[in-house]
Structure 1
Amino acid sequence: MEPVRRTEQEITRLAADLYNYDLSWTSRDVRRVAEHFDWEIELEDEGGVELDTGLGMGSGQITLTLGEMTRISVEVGSIIDPASREEQRWLRDLFTESYVLARVALGEPAERIPGETPKILWRRPDSTLTLIRYSMIVSFILESNKYLDRVAEYVEDADDE
């Protein structure tokens, strides 16, 4: 089955809307976020929700950590077959195109992290939007900077041990 993806307009709008969306980052925001973006909640538990964001079930997630909303993840395209060279190329092209579209909408990113799982980050005072290419999917991830700071502190403490 051929992979599916969001249109250029949808990618641009998704990047801009996620980046500019103001959140309190409380669990009370979960339904408000889903309604704002017209996403359907498919599954819900104490760890968050699985969403249909227009690309099918599980194409988005809202993560809760200790009762706080910490992450919104939205797929840009469908999951690929990692054994298919053609689909790997398609995924790389989707990542590159998504970056160009997001850069036009948001300006230059704060950070680019190359590697096997490349990331491009745009930071705001309270949140960070990341475009990431995993081995089988491209996603936008919006995370609370408070949460990211706690994770960085935890990793730093673990490295010191």
Structure 2
Amino acid sequence: MTEWRALSDDEIVELAGRLRSAKWPCPLDDIPELAATFGWKVESSRPEWIRLDSGFGRASGMVEADDGTAVELTLQVTDFADKDEAGRAQTLDTFVRMANALTGGLGEPTARIPGESAEVRWAGAEATIVLSDLDITVQLALIANSRLAAHDRTIDLQEQGLI
């Protein structure tokens, strides 16, 4: 295995702070300029999404849109770990480390969602910063509150067996 990369505590806090201060949601047409300010490369785009290289390789970032408005930005903040016990431990340890760093930088989370795909959230007026443990990588997202609320409603309905 090659050396596994992950953002440092200072890097994750800086990234989350910059994302928190970004105008969000925003027109999808504004994303190339936003990407340039963060040093990300636009790889491809369609009317409802833009794929980015955010520093962790191809498709390590994604912007999704509704009716031309960017509502969800997801970024890998680690490389992919091996799909074994050691890789899982590495990802989980990094998720916990980053959650602690973000708590120090952003304040107490507004939500902690345990489970197989654990999340820690810091809600803002229009958008929420979300740190997610995706088993083999850790992801940081900026999601419009309306989009996140719709996602949460869908999860609730699935858990009730209604969909």
CA contact (8 A) 2:127 2:144 kept: yes
Change (3 A) 1:156 1:133: closer
- Percent identity over the alignment is 24
Q: What do the CA deviations read for 1:55-100 (whole angstroms, capped 9, x no partner)? A: 2221111112232211011111011222x21111110111011101
State the match for 1:137 in structure 2. 137
Per the TM alignment, residue 155 of structure 1 is displaced from its structure 2 partner at its CA by: 6.2
Q: How many residues align?
A: 160
Instruction: Give per-residue Cα distances to partners, 1:80-129, cap 9 Å, x unaligned.
Output: 222x2111111011101110111111000001011111100000010011
Runs of 4+ in structure 1 deviating by more than 3 angstroms, as ranges, are 149-161
Unaligned runs of 5+ in 2: none
Amino acid at match of 1:52: D
**Cα pair distance change 1:89/1:153, threshold 3 Å:** closer
Residue matched to 1:115: 115
Q: CA RMSD in A?
A: 2.1
* Paired AA for residue 62 in structure 2: Q
1:48-127 superposed matches below 5 A: 48-82=49-83, 84-127=84-127
- Encode CA deviations 1:19-72: one digit per residue, 9 max, x unaligned: 222234222221222122121101211231111111222111111223221101
TM-score (normalised: structure 1): 0.88
2: CA distance, partners of 1:76 / 1:142: 13
